[in-house]
Amino acid sequence: METLLVNYTTREKRLAYLRNNRVENIVIDRPGNQSLVGNIYFGTVTKVLPGMNAVFIEIGEEKNAYLHRDQLPSYVLSAEKQQNVTSFVHQGEKMLVQVDKDATGTKGPKVTGIIEIHGNHLIYMPTGRYVAVSKKIADEKQNSTLRKIGSSLKTEDEGIIFRTSSMTCTKVEIEEELMVLRQQHQELLQQASHLKKPGLLSQKDTFMEMVLDRVSAMEMGDVMVDDLAVKKMLEQNNPHLKITFYNGKENIFSVNKVEHEIDKALKRIVWLDHGSYLIFDETEALTIIDVNTGKFSGKTDYQDTVLKTNQLAAKEIVRQLRLRDIGGIVLIDFIDMKREKDKQSILTLMESELSRDEKRTKIIGFTPLGILQITRKKTKVSISEALQVKCPVCEGTGRILSAETVAFRLERELLEHRHADFEAILVETTQEVRDALLGENEAHREVIEDLLQVRLYFSIQPYERHYYQLKQFGTIQEISQRAMDYS
């Protein structure tokens, strides 16, 4: 049973896809943080990088975009595939580009010069040079027929991808849509000719496209939406689905118990059945997932327990990759399996689970240390990147300096002021740092003050991060009064 929930009434748009009442996918789209994927820009090449076979392109966004040589129209249309990027593009060159992957971390968006213009039944590429058919069209005869139609209609330089809905189209309908898409491309070129600097030409409503794509892929099930206009639009082309309008007071996600799934998708630890658990560590470069048996001891021998835990983990890991929308390199540290057949069993299970993933994935295999390597196409930021910011205390490390470390630093700085011409020092710090410096019952105070030849006073501040600051130097009378003022 498939269920789609669409939360459209607020500025932050959300959708949740459930299979058998279990959340499989969550998409969040908020103002100022929308995905740029699919947007078409008029850009200017700012830097050509021969060593990387790539260029940087200014597109009018905060960061310049990155484009590899293989995604240049001049390269795709050329017969000389071994030449460097400098043979196909030059600094200052103007071109249309389309965002293939959102900016993340310090990296700008990744773009392609092979523009794709989406229609109802076709995807048109002015410089694609190939014909392809949706993988969902499994019938070989139908596949072959569409390829022949595409080859007969397109020019040598053009490319066409037939979408699933093209199965029911006639050649005339396909030709008519192709003409419309060609006209849209000409209009983009016309727009670009009037621009004096890089900028946006075409912006996609990526959220609504995701809703429409998800609904069209549902063979049967329920769709619940909290916006009447969206409900009516979905009903037009999806008579096979039950589409209902929700107008209750409670948020549509809350009433369907999806809100807590978002909270769980932000947690580092994910508990599995039988007491085992996963630990997720996301970095800009890759994601590491650690599998632990926890309280799960099994009922047979140890290796059977390991296999059972790893099987549970494999299924949940794939679900979490979709739920958290994790992309890029993923390293999975399964519990060590001694039997080769057990490793093969996990690989087979992972392949089966990943086959239902909408994002392109690839299983690289186990390393000599038993780490499973996979890649998952990353087009936008993960849920954790979209909903969270770096902690201002630890700056994203998850760790801060201990009170003892800060106390020893304070002690070293105080020693730099020994034998000075003042009598006292006022130190602002946390209670934990003060206690670590002076010791239990202030056992170290006398030794430190004798060494410094000054009296120490403290202003204690409640703060999450341990720190100190030398606030004032002066006479004992001055500093003691100032300390009283702070307390």
Co-location of 250 and 285 in the same domain: no
pLDDT digits (tens, 9 = 90+) for 426-447: 999 999 999 999 999 999 999 9
Q: Classify residue 118 by its DSSP letter.
A: E
Co-location of 368 and 311 in the same domain: yes
pLDDT digits (tens, 9 = 90+) for 254-292: 999 898 888 888 899 999 887 889 999 988 789 999 999
Per the structure block, which two tokens stand in for 470? 């030398």
- Secondary structure of 199-242 in the HEC alphabet? EEEECCCHHHHHHHHHHHHCCCCEEEECCHHHHHHHHHHCCCCE
Q: What is residue 300's predicted lDDT score, i.e. its pLDDT?
A: 62
Assign residue 192 a region (left: φ > 0; alpha: ψ between -120 and 50; beta: otherwise): alpha
- Name the pLDDT band for 390 (thresholds 50, 70, 90): confident
Is 398 inside any structural domain?
no
Last residue of one domain, picked from the residues 172, 196, 220: 196
Q: What is residue 174's predicted lDDT score, i.e. its pLDDT?
A: 94
Co-location of 89 and 128 in the same domain: yes
485: enclosing H helix or E strand: helix 476-486
Per the structure block, which two tokens stand in for 24? 């499989």
Last residue of one domain, picked from the residues 176, 196, 216: 196
Is 394 inside any structural domain?
no
What range does the domain containing 430 cover?
403-486
Q: CA 439, CA 433: separation in Å to the nearest integer?
A: 10
Co-location of 114 and 153 in the same domain: yes
User: Which CATH number does the domain housing residue 273 bear?
Assistant: 3.30.110
Confirm if 145 and 154 have CB atoms less than 8 A apart. Answer: no
Q: What is residue 297's predicted lDDT score, i.e. its pLDDT?
A: 59
DSSP 437-464: HH-GGGTTHHHHHHHHTSEEEEEE---S
Q: What is residue 410's predicted lDDT score, i.e. its pLDDT?
A: 95
Last residue of one domain, picked from the residues 360, 387, 414: 387
Residue 298 pLDDT > 60: no
Co-location of 429 and 414 in the same domain: yes
Co-location of 255 and 322 in the same domain: no
Residue in 3, 18, 4, 98 with CA at minimum distance from that of residue 261: 18
Is 392 inside any structural domain?
no
Residue keyed to tokens 């040079």: 129
Residue in 362, 414, 455, 35 with CA at minimum distance from that of residue 207: 35
Co-location of 107 and 138 in the same domain: yes
- Kindly state the average pLDDT of the residues 368-393: 87
Co-location of 251 and 333 in the same domain: no
pTM for the full model?
Answer: 0.72
DSSP 320-340: HHHHHT--EEEEEEPPP---H
Q: What is residue 94's predicted lDDT score, i.e. its pLDDT?
A: 95
Q: Classify residue 397 by its DSSP letter.
A: S
Is 381 inside any structural domain?
yes
Q: CA 473, CA 482: separation in Å to the nearest integer?
A: 10
pLDDT digits (tens, 9 = 90+) for 60-109: 998 999 999 999 999 999 988 899 999 999 999 999 999 999 988 788 99
Domain count, the chain: 4
Could you tell me which residues come within 8 angstroms of residue 455 by beta carbon, excluding any fewer than 6 positions away? 423, 424, 425, 449, 476, 479
Co-location of 65 and 187 in the same domain: yes
pLDDT digits (tens, 9 = 90+) for 299-348: 567 888 899 999 999 999 999 999 999 999 999 999 999 899 999 999 99
User: Which CATH number does the domain housing residue 117 bear?
Assistant: 2.40.50.140
Co-location of 177 and 67 in the same domain: yes
447 burial (CB, 10 Å; 0-12 / 13-18 / 19+) is: exposed
Q: What is residue 182's predicted lDDT score, i.e. its pLDDT?
A: 96
Q: Per DSSP, what are the bridge partners of residue 44?
A: 58, 94
Is 235 inside any structural domain?
yes
Is 321 inside any structural domain?
yes
Is 250 inside any structural domain?
yes
Co-location of 74 and 220 in the same domain: no
Co-location of 93 and 168 in the same domain: yes
Is 396 inside any structural domain?
no
pLDDT digits (tens, 9 = 90+) for 194-240: 998 999 999 887 788 889 888 888 888 999 999 999 999 998 878 88
User: Which CATH number does the domain housing residue 20 bear?
Assistant: 3.30.420
